[in-house]
Amino acid sequence: MPLRLEPSDAKQSEFGRCLRGNRRKRSVSPTRAGRLGIFTHRIRLFSLFGFDVWVDASWLLLAALIIWTLAEAVFPGFVPHLARAAYWWMAAAATIGLLFSIVFHEMAHALVARHYGMPVRGITLFIFGGVAEMEQEPPSPKSELLMAIAGPLASFVLAGVFFVLLVLAEQFAAPRAVQGTLWYMWFINAVLGIFNLIPAFPLDGGRVLRAALWLWRGDLVAATRIAAEAGNFFGILLMVFGVFGVITGDFIGGMWRFLIGLFLKGAADASYREVIARTALQGVLVAQVMTRDPISVTPDISVESFIEDFVYRYHHRVFPVTRDGAFLGCVGTEQAATIAREAWPTTLIAWIMQPCAPEDIISPGKDAIAALAQMRRAGRTRLWVVEGGRLVGVLSLRDMLELLSTKLELEGNGRTSRGKLRKTGSA
C-alpha cells in the first residue's frame, strides 16, 4: 500500500506539532499517523532499482512472532508428523519469503510511480506490511489507478508462481516440508493481494476507488474525501471486530484486527488532510507567503551581542548573515558554542559564520507546495528566500499553515472539509 504518512523523526515532526499547535486557532487537526510513531527506528536493508529498502524495528518483532506462530501452530496443523526442527526451518523460510513478497508488492508500486515521474523516497517495511513513500499526489487518475493496482497485481502474480511451484513439488514428490512452505507462500500472497484491494483509502483498493471517482467527477478533493470516509469506516469496522474478538476469547486475533483498524483509520484521516493542504496551497508562490525584511545579523557584531540581542531575543537557533541586503551566509548557536565564553566579546560573527546549506534556501518564484516538500525533506521549519544574491524574506512553516487555515475558512470547499476534519480528527 503506497501511503503518505507524517514523518515522525524529531525534526520533521515539527510539521505535525505546528498542525497541532494551529488547531487551537480552529485550523487543521493533528496528525494521528504521526503520533502512532511509525518510522522512528529503521534500518536500511538493501537498495534495489535505485530504491532504498528500510525495515522498521517493529518488523523484527513481528518477524519473530510470525516465525513462532508458523512453527508452533500453523505448520504442525497443516503438515503433521514432521520433526519439530523441520517446522522451525519451514517457518524461517516462510518469514523470509513473506518479507520478499511485501518488497515485491511495494516495488511494483514504486516502479509504476517512478514511470509517471512521482518521486519515491524509499520503501519501508513496518509492522502492518510495507509502505512506498511518495512525495506527492499522482498527476492524473490514470497514473493513480495503475500505481495502485500494480501492488495487488504483483501479489497475485507471485501467488500464481508459488502455486505452480507447489503443483510441481507435488508432482515430483518433493519433501512435505517444502510443499508446506510453498503452500503458505501461495496462500499469503493471495491474502496480501485481496486485503489490499479492500476499497478503504489509503489501501490500494481505496486508491482505485479514489481514482475512479476522480475520473468520474474530476475533483481530487471530493474523491479523496469519499475514499477516506470508506477508509475510516473499514478502520472502525475492523476495530469493532477486534474488540468483539477480544471479548469472545480470541485475544491475539482481536488485538491484531483492532490495531490494523486503528492504523487504517489514522492513515485515512492523515491522507485526507494532506490532500486538503495541497489543494489549498495550489498556485500560491513563496513570495506571497514569506515575511519580508527578515531579522538578519551583520558580520561585524560580536558573538556576545549575537547571543544577547538575537538568540535570546528572537529564540531562533540559526540566523542569516547579511550586509546591505547581500546574503553572506548563516550563523547559529552551533557555531557560537565552539567559542569559549570569555572570547565571545572579542570574536566577530564574520569569523564563525558558514555558507548556508542549499536545502535552507528557496527562491521567491517557487510555489508553496514545493517549499512545503523541501521543508519536510530537509526537516526545516524556516527557509531563507534569496533572489539574485540578496535575502528578500524568510518563509516559515507557521506562516504557511496560517495561510492554509485562513484559506480553508474563507473558501467554500474548506468549510465542509473543516467540519469533516474536526469530526474525524477528534474521534
Report, as residue numbers or ranges, the catalytic residues.
106
CB-based contacts of 216, cutoff 8 Å, min separation 6: none
Taking residues 93 to 132 in sequence order and writing x for each that binds Zn ion by CB under 5 A, - otherwise, the string is ----------------------------------------
Using the contact rule CB under 5 A, the part of the chain among 19-27, 201-209, 258-266, 324-332 near Zn ion is: 201-209
Q: How far is the CB of 156 from Zn ion (least distance, A)?
A: 12
Closer residue to Zn ion, CB minimum distance, 90 or 99: 99
Q: How far is the CB of 207 from Zn ion (least distance, A)?
A: 8
Helix and strand element counts for the chain (H, E): 18, 10
Please give the biggest Cα pair distance in the chain: 86
Closer residue to Zn ion, CB minimum distance, 192 or 221: 192
Amino acid sitting at position 378: A
Q: How far is the CB of 108 from Zn ion (least distance, A)?
A: 8
Closer residue to Zn ion, CB minimum distance, 138 or 151: 151
385 in Cβ contact with 395 (< 8 Å)? yes
Q: How far is the CB of 369 from Zn ion (least distance, A)?
A: 25
414 binds Zn ion (CB under 5 A): no
Taking residues 126 to 165 in sequence order and writing x for each that binds Zn ion by CB under 5 A, - otherwise, the string is -------------------------x--------------
Render 336-372 in DSSP notation, one character per residue: HTTS-GGGGGG-BHHHH-BPPPGGGEE-TTSBHHHHH
Taking residues 169 to 198 in sequence order and writing x for each that binds Zn ion by CB under 5 A, - otherwise, the string is ---------------------------x--
Question: Is the bond leading into 364 cis (omega within 30 degrees of zero)?
Answer: no
Residue 338: CB atoms within 10 A of its CB come to 9
Applying the rule CB under 5 A, the residues between 316 and 345 that interact with Zn ion are none
Q: How far is the CB of 22 from Zn ion (least distance, A)?
A: 32
CB-based contacts of 161, cutoff 8 Å, min separation 6: none
Q: How far is the CB of 202 from Zn ion (least distance, A)?
A: 9
Strand partners, 297: 321
CA dihedral 261, 265, 266, 272 (to 10 degrees): 160
Amino acid sitting at position 322: T
Q: Which grid coordinates belong to 393?
A: 524574506
Closer residue to Zn ion, CB minimum distance, 2 or 30: 2
Closer residue to Zn ion, CB minimum distance, 51 or 327: 51
Render 288-340 in DSSP notation, one character per residue: HHSEES---B-TTSBHHHHIIIIIHHH--SEEEEEETTEEEEEEEHHHHTTS-
Distance of alpha carbon 254 from the chain centroid: 26
206 binds Zn ion (CB under 5 A): no
Taking residues 339 to 378 in sequence order and writing x for each that binds Zn ion by CB under 5 A, - otherwise, the string is ----------------------------------------
Closer residue to Zn ion, CB minimum distance, 104 or 163: 104
Q: How far is the CB of 2 from Zn ion (least distance, A)?
A: 6
274 half-sphere exposure, CB direction, 13 A CA radius = 28
Residue nearest to Zn ion (CB): 151
Using the contact rule CB under 5 A, the part of the chain among 1-9, 93-101, 118-126, 405-413 near Zn ion is: 1-9
Q: Write the DSSP symbol of residue 3.
A: B
CA distance 336 to 319: 12
Strand partners, 125: 55, 130
204 binds Zn ion (CB under 5 A): yes
Q: Under rule CB under 5 A, how many of the chain's residues touch Zn ion?
A: 4
Closer residue to Zn ion, CB minimum distance, 159 or 318: 159
Binding-site ranges for Zn ion (CB under 5 A):
1, 151, 196, 204
